[in-house]
């Protein structure tokens, strides 16, 4: 039998997973997914892998965890993407959400359930919007105490030791500057020695009451595995890889080993480190990018991740083999009909080497046009993971180019820090040099290039449009920053302490802010534009898009404006995601 070619609409029906948790006895996996078009908590009773709903609140779920006895699930949830996460609990069989800690207009973060299930530790901005405070809430007696006060920088409670005699916390000075501490016998221990050099932390894991393993860039460019002993107050470097960052750390008590995620450019690696003999073994990972890892008491490993042609899925590693627990794909579209990226490298204007991915449309679909996609963050990276937006545009004939310009993660701390105080010069020229490299090497035609980005990528789309309009036929900005002066004043309060290092000082760096603000170059923004904005976005507020749209309309630039009233900094509802993707395709199709 012959069937018609899969329709592009099928790409819109791809589902996602925000996070998952495994019950203590491994009889159930709970995970946040949008199977009904909106995110809810679903579960699978193992060994069966057929999902059923636990909640019906139709909102995103952040952190979720079972209490130690598996009697309830604690979860974070916000309202329509406003990121004001509240804490709720439900029984494992599901039902109505029971409020645990709520405060309208404030956020509750990084919760931990005590071993006896009677207390919840968490960090919140409800009493200190800027530096934050951490609390311990007694569920039975409905009493709460301040556990830790923020001082010097926004402070987050991170992990507790096995018997809760010790706790770790992080002070966040910037994305590239953090300090980690532990509270032990009433004393606060800094986990890395004193230094003037800024450094970072990723995973933090107690393996006993006195030993903490973590990954850090202390005195290094790429993060490595280190340990700190609370009794001896000794810091020690444990394992370092060549040009590869070790990030997440999870402890397996059953084998006295650590599971580690390695990051190298656009892909991840997965390792097991034997604490007894100090050996590191690389394991074949089922995905190219690992998002979350859980280790059960049995020693079984559960992992969530995705690859360029495979959406989010959950996998189980037991007896040396991976088993796929969920089966998310693109309905009606075979993996072979999608496109893996070609990884390329090119020299930028000052000789800096930039890694990028090029998703080439298949010859039978290719319409000759290339979309430049500057990623968000900016201290993040575009990686070899599935984006429905990418694959459906590629399927429609568009090739996509995604440079990991300076400031991206995965290439060392120095490379990531370069963007601090320079949002609009070096990274902008990295993108421009990428386009010239594409044209020179036959990847793109100079008169067939589109531009699209979200968040910082939206900012870069606006800036490139204003400063280099000759490259582009049309531009899409998805919740992008338009004015650095207004942006640094409207971010969440607990972001503001890091703004001077991250973006700059609007008074001292006034000329630089003007030079790097897209609104400075309005007259050059002459190409057709589509601007998309979430009305409840707390990071890049709606006023950022309002001002650019109003100015473009006033000067006569062709601009369409799509505002999503029930979204924040992203798309939490399938109907909105579909609306945006259809609009983007419709917009580009006008100019092919």
Q: List the structure tokens of 235.
A: 């810091």
Backbone angles phi, psi at 561, to 5 degrees: -130, 120
| Secondary structure (3-state) at 44 | strand
User: How many CA atoms lie within 13 Å of 200's alpha carbon, on the beta-carbon side?
Assistant: 20
Whether the upstream peptide bond of residue 274 has omega within 30° of 0, thus cis, is: no
Whether the upstream peptide bond of residue 47 has omega within 30° of 0, thus cis, is: yes
| Secondary structure (3-state) at 285 | coil
Backbone angles phi, psi at 437, to 5 degrees: -65, -45
Per-residue pLDDT of the chain (592 residues; tens, 9 = 90+): 887 777 777 888 899 999 999 999 999 999 999 999 999 999 999 999 999 999 999 999 989 999 999 999 999 999 999 999 999 999 999 999 999 999 999 999 999 999 999 999 999 999 999 999 999 999 999 999 999 999 999 999 999 999 999 999 999 999 999 999 999 999 999 999 999 999 999 999 999 999 999 999 999 999 999 999 999 999 999 999 999 999 999 999 999 999 999 999 999 999 999 999 999 999 999 999 999 999 999 999 999 999 999 999 999 999 999 999 999 999 888 888 899 999 999 999 999 999 999 999 999 999 999 999 999 999 999 999 999 999 999 999 999 999 999 999 999 999 999 999 999 999 999 999 999 999 999 999 999 999 999 999 999 999 999 999 999 999 999 999 999 999 999 999 999 999 999 999 999 999 999 999 999 999 999 999 999 999 999 999 999 999 999 999 999 999 999 999 999 998 888 889 989 999 999 999 999 9
Instruction: Enumerate domains of the chain plus CATH numbers.
Output: 337-589 (3.40.50.1820)
Q: What is the pLDDT of residue 13?
A: 85
Whether the upstream peptide bond of residue 378 has omega within 30° of 0, thus cis, is: yes
- CA 446 vs CA 2, 231, 368, 440: distances in Å: 39, 63, 11, 9
Instruction: Count CB atoms within 10 A of the CB of residue 28.
Output: 20
What span, in angstroms and rounded, lies between the C-alpha atoms of 55 and 78?
Answer: 14
Closest by alpha carbon to 238, among 228, 248, 247, 250? 228
Query: Measured at the alpha carbon of residue 33, what is the angle toward residues 27 and 35, in degrees to the nearest 5?
Result: 105
What span, in angstroms and rounded, lies between the C-alpha atoms of 425 and 402?
Answer: 18
Parallel, antiparallel, or unpaired for β 475-478 and 529-534? parallel
DSSP state of 548: H
DSSP state of 361: P
Q: What is the pTM of this model?
A: 0.95
Length of the chain equals 592
Angle at which helix 574-589 crosses helix 388-395, to 10 degrees, equals: 40
What span, in angstroms and rounded, lies between the C-alpha atoms of 344 and 349?
Answer: 16
């Amino acid at each position: 039998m012959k069937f018609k070619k899969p329709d592009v609409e099928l790409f819109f029906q791809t589902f996602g997973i925000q996070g998952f948790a495994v019950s203590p006895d491994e009889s159930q996996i709970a995970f946040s997914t949008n199977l009904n078009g909106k995110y809810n908590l679903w579960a699978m009773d193992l060994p069966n892998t057929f999902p059923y709903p636990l909640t019906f609140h139709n909102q995103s779920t952040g952190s979720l965890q079972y209490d130690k006895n598996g009697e309830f699930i604690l979860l974070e949830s916000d309202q329509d993407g406003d990121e004001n996460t509240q804490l709720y609990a439900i029984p494992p069989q599901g039902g109505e959400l029971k409020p645990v800690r709520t405060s309208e207009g404030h956020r509750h973060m990084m919760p931990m359930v005590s071993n006896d299930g009677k207390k919840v530790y968490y960090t919140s901005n409800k009493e200190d919007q800027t530096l934050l405070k951490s609390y311990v809430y007694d569920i039975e007696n409905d009493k709460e105490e301040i556990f830790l006060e923020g001082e010097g920088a926004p402070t987050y409670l991170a992990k507790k030791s096995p018997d809760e005699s010790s706790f770790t916390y992080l002070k966040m000075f910037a994305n590239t500057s953090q300090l980690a501490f532990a509270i032990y016998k009433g004393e606060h221990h800094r986990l890395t020695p004193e230094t003037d050099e800024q450094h970072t932390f990723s995973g933090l894991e107690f393996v006993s009451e006195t030993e903490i393993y973590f990954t850090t860039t202390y005195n290094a460019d790429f993060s490595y595995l280190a340990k700190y002993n609370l009794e001896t107050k000794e810091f020690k470097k444990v394992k370092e890889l060549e040009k590869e960052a070790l990030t997440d750390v999870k402890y397996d008590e059953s084998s006295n080993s650590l599971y580690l995620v390695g990051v190298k450019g656009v892909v991840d690696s997965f390792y097991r480190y034997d604490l007894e003999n100090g050996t590191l073994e690389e394991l074949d990972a089922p995905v190219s990018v690992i998002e979350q890892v859980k280790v059960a008491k049995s020693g079984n490993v559960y992992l969530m991740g995705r690859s360029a042609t495979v959406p989010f899925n959950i996998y189980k590693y037991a007896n040396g083999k991976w088993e796929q627990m969920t089966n998310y794909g693109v309905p009606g579209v075979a993996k072979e009909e999608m496109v893996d990226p070609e990884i390329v490298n090119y020299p930028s204007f000052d000789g800096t080497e930039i890694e990028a991915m090029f998703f080439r449309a298949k010859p039978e679909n290719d319409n000759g046009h290339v979309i430049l996609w500057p990623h968000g963050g900016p201290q993040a990276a575009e990686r070899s993971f599935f984006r429905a937006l990418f694959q459906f545009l590629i399927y429609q004939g568009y090739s996509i180019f995604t440079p990991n310009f300076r400031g991206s993660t995965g290439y060392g701390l120095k490379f990531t820090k370069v963007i601090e105080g320079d949002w609009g010069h070096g990274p902008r020229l990295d993108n421009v040099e990428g386009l010239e490299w594409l044209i020179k090497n036959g990847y793109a035609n100079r008169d067939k290039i589109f531009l699209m980005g979200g968040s910082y990528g939206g900012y870069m789309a606006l800036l490139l449009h204003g400063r280099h309009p000759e490259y582009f036929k049309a531009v899409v900005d998805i919740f992008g920053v338009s004015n650095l002066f207004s942006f640094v004043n409207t971010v969440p309060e607990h972001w503001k302490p890091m703004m001077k290092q991250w973006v700059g000082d609007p008074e001292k760096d006034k000329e630089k802010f003007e030079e790097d603000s897209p609104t400075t170059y309005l007259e050059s923004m002459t190409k057709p534009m589509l601007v998309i904005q979430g009305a409840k976005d707390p990071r890049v507020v709606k006023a950022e898009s309002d001002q650019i749209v109003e100015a473009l309309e006033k000067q006569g630039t062709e601009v369409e404006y799509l505002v999503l009233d029930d979204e924040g900094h992203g798309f939490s509802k399938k109907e909105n995601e579909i609306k945006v993707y259809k609009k983007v395709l419709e917009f580009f199709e006008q100019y092919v």
